[in-house]
Structures are given as C-alpha cells and as structure tokens.
Chains A and B, each alone.
Chain A
Amino acid sequence: DVKVTQSSRYLVKRTGEKVFLECVQDMDHENMFWYRQDPGLGLRLIYFSYDVKMKEKGDIPEGYSVSREKKERFSLILESASTNQTSMYLCASSGNKQPQHFGDGTRLSIL
C-alpha cells in the first residue's frame, strides 16, 4: 500500500511566522503535490514536483514555496503566514501515469 505521511494533523501558528509542512512518501514516486482544500472551493493545487530539486507552480502559489531535496520528501513553506492561509493542506504522490494518493492532511490554523 502507498503510504504518504504528513508531519502534523493539526497545527496552530501566528501571523508572520514561517511555517513548514512536511510530506514523506515510501513508494519511490516521482511526482509529489501540495493542495489546499477550503469549503466551497474544492481542491486547489499550490505546487508540484516531478523530480528531485524540481518544482512547478500550481494554480495558487502566492505566499508559498516548496523544497524537494530528496525524492521521498516534499516540503511546503509558508514564508510569512497570514490568516487567509488557514486551511486543510493535503500532500499527494504518484508514480508516472499512476493515480495520486493522498496523505491524511494537515489542518492549519493561523491566528
């Protein structure tokens, strides 16, 4: 079974803080993704990566950055957290031409 592990289920941070969300997959997948999900807005793609040290902007990259130093790990960084970044964050991974599998999600609150 595919295992995608997100470092925290719940996280509370303050505005202006730098926030790191970590994601690790154990299936040697090439592709990794970060989404946020908000009521009424569905899943929105923030960033994705097709290989180590590679990153591509998704639909809503503003205010975020990512890092992929190792194939199994994909980190999402909120450079200076703001209240409108309060959301459920979902990491996913996939092999080439394979479906995406999601981690359990991180519910992030910015106060």
Chain B
Amino acid sequence: QKEVEQNSGPLSVPEGAIASLNCTYSDRGSQSFFWYRQYSGKSPELIMFIYSNGDKEDGRFTAQLNKASQYVSLLIRDSQPSDSATYLCAVKTSYDKVIFGPGTSLSVIP
C-alpha cells in the first residue's frame, strides 16, 4: 500500500460545478495535511492546510479531514477554467516526513 494515494484522474467537471478531490493515507499517526496546486510546467503552490478533524474553508476551497478514516479531501466550489491544474495531497507523517501523493489532474470545461 502506498503511503499517500489520490483518486486517479483526470477529473473533468463543468464550469460552475463542485470538484471533489480525494486523498487517503496509511500512517494513522499523521497530523498535518496539505493541498498544493500545480499548473503545467510550474511548481507546486500551497493552497490549503488542515490539522484538525472537520472542515476548513478558504474562499471557494474547503478541506475536509477525517482521521478515523484516514481520509482528506479538497472541494472546489463554483469551479473555474483557471482551476484546471494538478492537485497534490501532502501528509506529514508521525515520523516527521512529508509524503506527497501522485496528484490528480483536474480539468474544468467552460
């Protein structure tokens, strides 16, 4: 089992819809969770982080964490074509190492 897994893409959603990106992790003691956005040919950019169970909202983005299920998700409301990118989930494990998932490619269709 890989340490951090993300739903396989590519994911396509129509403009204005909600995009849902999922991530699971294997280390139950993980405490910190991050979402990065990476445009093609560019470097990853931090967009959200969450440490506690529940939801965290920032503008159109909501991160959801369920430690019991070892699951973290990113919801993008009112998706825009400019949201088209690869989204990387990153998890800081109990042994203090940050593991990145393989990424999910999102395409928002106008």
- B-contacting residues of A (Cβ < 8 Å)? 42-43, 90, 97, 99-105
Find chain B residues with CB under 8 A from A97 CB: 32
CB distance from A47 to the nearest CB of B (A): 13
Separation of A61 and B88 alpha carbons in the complex (Å): 23
Q: Which listed residue (B42, B46, B102) contacts A99, Cβ 8 A? A: B46
Find chain A residues with CB under 8 A from B101 CB: 42
Query: A50's closest neighbor in chain B, by CB?
Result: B96
Q: Which listed residue (B32, B43, B49) contacts A102, Cβ 8 A? A: B43
Separation of A22 and B98 alpha carbons in the complex (Å): 22
CB distance from B108 to the nearest CB of A (A): 22
Q: Is B42 a contact partner of A105 (Cβ separation < 8 A)?
A: yes
Separation of A103 and B42 alpha carbons in the complex (Å): 9
Check if B100 is an interface residue, CB within 8 A of chain A. Answer: yes
CB distance from B11 to the nearest CB of A (A): 17
Separation of A42 and B103 alpha carbons in the complex (Å): 7
Check if B45 is an interface residue, CB within 8 A of chain A. Answer: yes
Q: Which listed residue (A42, A90, A104, A105) contacts B102, Cβ 8 A? A: A42
Find chain A residues with CB under 8 A from B102 CB: 42
Find chain B residues with CB under 8 A from A42 CB: 100-103
Check if B44 is an interface residue, CB within 8 A of chain A. Answer: yes
Find chain A residues with CB under 8 A from B32 CB: 97, 99
**Interface hits, B8-57 → A, CB 8 Å:** 32, 34, 36, 42-46, 49
